[in-house]
Each structure stands twice: as structure tokens, then as C-alpha cells.
Amino acid sequence: MCGIVAYVGSRNAQPILLDALSRLEYRGYDSAGLAILNGHGVEVRKKSGRIENLAKACQAKPISGSMGISHTRWATHGAPTDSNAHPHLDASGKLALVHNGVIENFLELKEKLSKAGHTFQSDTDTEVLAHCLGDAYAKSQAKGEARLLEAVRQTFNQIHGTMGIAVIHSDLPGLVVGARRGSPLVIGVGQGENFLASDTQALAPYTNRVVILKDLEIVALHADRFDVSSPLGSNTQIKVEEIENGMIHSDKGSHPHFMLKEIMEQPRSIENAFRGRLDRDGGTTKLGGLNMSADQLRQIQRISVLGCGTALHSGMVGKYLIEDLAKIPVETQHASEFRYGDSPVSRHTLFLAVSQSGETADTLGALREAQRRGYPCLGICNNVASSIARESDGGVYMHAGPEIGVAATKSFTSQVMVFALLGLLLGRHHQLSANHGAELLDAIVQLPEKIRQTLKHSDSVARVAKTYAHSRSMLFLGRLANFPIALEGALKMKEITYLHAEGYPSAELKHGVIAMIDKETPTVLIATQDGVYDKNLGSLQEIKARGGPVIAVAEEGDSKIQGLADAVLQVPKTHELLQPILNVIPLQLFSYHTAVALGRDVDKPRNLAKSVTVE
């Protein structure tokens, strides 16, 4: 997790570091810090809390200097305090380090260093890394730049874990050393100035020319040049890429929060997911990035979807779509579990790694594991320059545009849309008729308008949210493809309101969960008119019989539900396979308005980060 930025050039580093860092806050926001070479030595400012706290501290006491490193943190080792914030210094106080990743053997290293007389100011693994680097630097016989590079290489061999780092040393003005193992790092190539950052978004106002460092590469960065080398020290070939959307910097527009803006953007983001990909005549879709021939598509006998959180929920909806359209069995797995599990995988299995950011460590690790075992792996990502997008054998981009709110909203609906497109394509290579394909295509084309219609109910969802905002706990129920929608509704509610919420298949109610029902515990029941509508009505009656309030997600004009439920969140009707896309929208709005009613920090809920880049 965490975001890092480094700058070396001729401008004042402090405002650049603060500005670039603010674009990485999605990677963590519990503390932030920077270190600048001020002409005399390394000067550090660090503060717990948001980057704005650091900015205030820097305004009160600015640091002058034209090179430095900075960091925004998501705590792994040690509480989010000033002293645990990065940068961390080595024993000499001359070397400063920022780090994104986790050092797994830090306790062992700390013990060894402590015995050798080192003392530590923080509880972090990163400070141990800084001391290891400083120790290796002190012992090295090399001179100048080579000495710091050698120290980084030696430390690489000592540590277990992941790191994206930027290091400066007061004896080496004009040099920033960066290195990566597991964690992403990019070079931003400027004119008379260069940058390092955890991702390209940080660099948007400064340059769109980037070098994406490969794993284990080390870079020596100066204002006018940079040299990239392998862990063994040999120079490596670099490719400077020009990125297109790197300059896009989102703002909230007229919305009070990014989350609401992103919910409201869904008519457009869904359209972007299918634009140019529909083949009405063939009753199918065109997905150019799969890099698979028609024969290879026909040979797929099983699909395994890997993802985390919301991305996994989209895969669970995707399972219903693909199984229905293509009759290919699909299993979904928490990426983190697959990675270390022993479950056998049958031959002719295609893996799909789903991730908005494309940087989620668990999903990336699972993708690499599936590739190691020799399976074809596709990525379903939003972030085009991401690690998962680059490392998978092919894939489908969501084209949802930047998603800044920590709660995933438009990326979820776009992911489900991608599954629909993929299901159609696979279906047409297996047994689906062109007519059935065309029916779904018609419904896909009409979907943006139906989403617009759904969003018009936002105010009435807000009223329902206000009524139930002070509940201690909520249940979310749905069946079949709407079970993952119940899980997604509960996840949204938990992460931005901190209320206890659980998602279940409706029929599981009677197997234990029903004991939770009382008049203080509302149940959100997804009950649109599908094949299990009557069964859902049965569950509704069981809840009402025990005095529990029911908030139903139901189709507009469903008078039966209106007569039974305490509140109804209305959605228009669409093709049954696409209905989950509409059904999730009132749940996104419900959690959003509940969080607002409770005065929560909607876009940056506590303890979370947008992108989970550590295990």
C-alpha cells in the first residue's frame, strides 16, 4: 500500500512533492511526510492524518531544496502516528527512505541491528530497512553514486517481502535512488527534472512520459538523466512510454463527494464499457484485447475468477452470466485464498483476474500463481497502465474512467458489463443462438437510459436512508445473481458507514440468521421479478412475521411488494441477466446517503485505502 513520490530538478521540491502526493492519497491516507536535501543535510517533516496536515506543517516551516522524497501511508506495522510516518532515517541521519510494501523479516533484522547498537524511533518495518541500507552504505568500499546503488543491491538480498523505495543521502546531492520488488514504481521523465512515483497519476501535471520499472530494477535518478540497472548491476534497456490518460485529474464537479459523482456517472461508464464492442448482426461481441483465437475460446472448459472485495462480487455475478450464456462452469475465488491454496485446477481452465486498480497485491499474486502453473490468464481492469493489465496474457478494459472514492461503485457495474460481453462472446463460440445474443445486445443498448431512470430515485433513497441510519445492524438478502448484489450492498454499507451489515442468500435466513431479526434490524431484500420472486416474497413474510422492517429493492409499479415492505427502493425492469446492474445502484445510493446522514467521511472511510497494494 502507500504512495511514494520523488523529485530531482531545479524547482523548489516541496510544493511539487505535496501536490503529486495528493494524487496518491487513494493508496493510503493515515499519515504523510517528506524529506528534502536543504543544502546542509536531510530535513524531514511528517505528520499523522491527511496530507493537508503535512502541507500545513510545511507551510508553517517550509523546506527549501530542489530534490526530495515523500510518502502517504496506509499503516501496516505501527499505528498511524507522527513517528511511524515516513520518511525514515538510517543511524547516521544522512540517509532518508520512503517505502511502499512490507518487510516480512523485519523483526529478525531489527534484532540483529539492535545487537549491533542501532536504536529505532518507530515501530515500522521501514525504519529497519533504512538502517539496513545505511549499514550497507557505511560498509561499502564503493564511491559516490555506486556506493548507494551497491547498498540497495545488498539490502535487496537481505530482505523478504515487497518494496517500492526512494532513497536520498546527504552526501550525494542530485541523486535519488529508486528500486522495486513486488511494489510498482514509475519514472516520470521531465525536461531538466525527473520524478519517481508509485503510479503515473501522481505525475499528471508534470509529464506524460514515463518508464514503468520492471520488477527488481534499480534506478539512479538525476535531474538530467537516469540509469536503470538489474539487481546484478548490468544496465537494462528502457522504454519511455507516452501515456494518454495520465493527465486526467478528476474533480468532484458539482457533487459533494466523489462517490456520489461516480454513482451518477454510471450511465456513461456503462456505455463506455460496451461502446464499439457490440456486433448486432452476429448477436455477439468483439473483444479485441483477449489475444485468443476462436479455437482457443472454444476449448475453454472451465473459468476461474480471481478478485477481492467488490471485484470478486462482480465475478460472482459474472458466474451467472457466463454459465447462463456460454454454459461454461465458473468458479470464483478470493484471490488471496487461491494464491496459497492447493485446490486442483482442471485442464482447459481460463483464469480471469478482476481488479479496478490493477494493482491489488492479492489479485496480482494470484494471477502470477495461475500463470506459474501454466494457465492462460486474462485481466479485467480499469487502470490501463496497471500491473495486472500488463502482466496478464490479454484482457478487457472497463473504460470506467478514474474512480477516486474508496467505495467502488461505477467500476462494479462496468465489471459486470464486461462479464456480460464476455459471456456473450463465449456463448456464441459455444451454444448460444444469434437470436438470444441479439436480445441481450438490445437490452445492453437500453441500459444507460434505465440507469438514468434508477438514479432519479436518489432523493427517495436518501429519505429511506435517513429513517434507518441509526440502526446497529442490517441484513442484505438476495438470491442467485442477486446474492452477490446483497453481498455488495452489505460491503458498501460496512465500509463507508461502519454499521454492521451482512449479505446472505435469502433462503439461508432460516438456517440461523433469522435469529438476528427484531424491530431494530432492517433487512434489505432484493426482490425484482425473476424466477425466484415468489420465494423472495416468502422470505419477506418470514421477516415481517418476526417484526423486522423490510426495505425491498423492487421493480417500479410492483404493488404487491409496496403493500408488504416498509420501504421500496425502485428500479426499472431490464433483461433478467442485466437486472443485477440496476439492482445494485439503489444499494450504492442507500449506503452513500446513510453515511452522509451519519456524518461519515464518505470518500475516505477510516482504516481503508482505495488500492490495497500489500498482502
Active site residues: 2, 610
Q: Which is nearer to ligand M6R, 136 or 602 (CB)?
A: 602
413 interacts with ligand M6R by CB under 6 A: no
Q: Which is nearer to ligand M6R, 103 or 496 (CB)?
A: 496
332 interacts with ligand M6R by CB under 6 A: no
Shortest Å distance, C-beta 63 to ligand M6R = 34
Q: Which is nearer to ligand M6R, 48 or 611 (CB)?
A: 611
Backbone angles phi, psi at 529, to 5 degrees: -85, 80
Q: Which is nearer to ligand M6R, 598 or 608 (CB)?
A: 608
Distances (CA, A) of 17 to 5, 35, 203, 297, 568: 6, 10, 10, 47, 48
Distances (CA, A) of 26 to 273, 275, 302, 479, 606: 23, 28, 35, 33, 12
**Cα separation of 220 and 129, whole Å?**
19
Q: Which is nearer to ligand M6R, 292 or 406 (CB)?
A: 406
**Cα separation of 443 and 151, whole Å?**
60
Q: Which of 54, 305, 308, 490 binds ligand M6R (CB under 6 A)?
A: 308
CB 180 within 8 A of CB 156: no
201 interacts with ligand M6R by CB under 6 A: no
Q: Which is nearer to ligand M6R, 309 or 376 (CB)?
A: 309
Angle, helices 434-455/266-274, rounded to nearest 10 degrees: 160
Shortest Å distance, C-beta 477 to ligand M6R = 20
611 interacts with ligand M6R by CB under 6 A: yes
Shortest Å distance, C-beta 197 to ligand M6R = 18
Site string for ligand M6R, 344-383 (x = CB under 6 A): -----------xxx--x--x--------------------
408 interacts with ligand M6R by CB under 6 A: yes
Considering only 271-279, 326-334, 405-413, 463-471, which stretch makes contact with ligand M6R by CB under 6 A?
A: 405-413
Considering only 216-224, 404-412, 465-473, 520-528, which stretch makes contact with ligand M6R by CB under 6 A?
A: 404-412
Q: Which is nearer to ligand M6R, 66 or 314 (CB)?
A: 314
Q: Which is nearer to ligand M6R, 278 or 388 (CB)?
A: 388
Shortest Å distance, C-beta 357 to ligand M6R = 3
Non-local CB neighbours of 374 within 8 Å, separated by 6+ positions: none
**Cα separation of 316 and 299, whole Å?**
22
CB 104 within 8 A of CB 128: no
603 interacts with ligand M6R by CB under 6 A: no
Record the cell numbers describing residue 126, joined without a space: 521501514
**Cα separation of 109 and 72, whole Å?**
24
**Cα separation of 405 and 101, whole Å?**
22
Shortest Å distance, C-beta 492 to ligand M6R = 6
Shortest Å distance, C-beta 399 to ligand M6R = 15
200 interacts with ligand M6R by CB under 6 A: no
Please report the DSSP string for 421-490 in residue order.
HHHHHHHHHTT--HHHHHHHHHHHHHHHHHHHHHHTTHHHHHHHHHHHTT-SEEEEEE-GGGHHHHHHHH
Shortest Å distance, C-beta 378 to ligand M6R = 15
Amino acid identity at 457 = H
499 interacts with ligand M6R by CB under 6 A: no
406 interacts with ligand M6R by CB under 6 A: yes
CB 47 within 8 A of CB 70: no
Number of residues that bind ligand M6R (CB under 6 A): 16
310 interacts with ligand M6R by CB under 6 A: yes
**Cα separation of 256 and 602, whole Å?**
10
Shortest Å distance, C-beta 611 to ligand M6R = 6
Terminal-residue alpha carbon distance, the chain:
9
CB 384 within 8 A of CB 337: no
Site string for ligand M6R, 457-496 (x = CB under 6 A): ----------------------------------x---x-
**Cα separation of 161 and 82, whole Å?**
24
Please report the DSSP string for 55-118 in residue order.
HHHHHHS----SEEEEEEE--SSS-S-TTTSSPEE-TTS-EEEEEES-BTTHHHHHHHHHHTT-
395 interacts with ligand M6R by CB under 6 A: no
Kindly list the residues in this chain that would bind ligand M6R in the complex (CB under 6 A): 308-311, 355-357, 360, 363, 406-408, 491, 495, 611-612
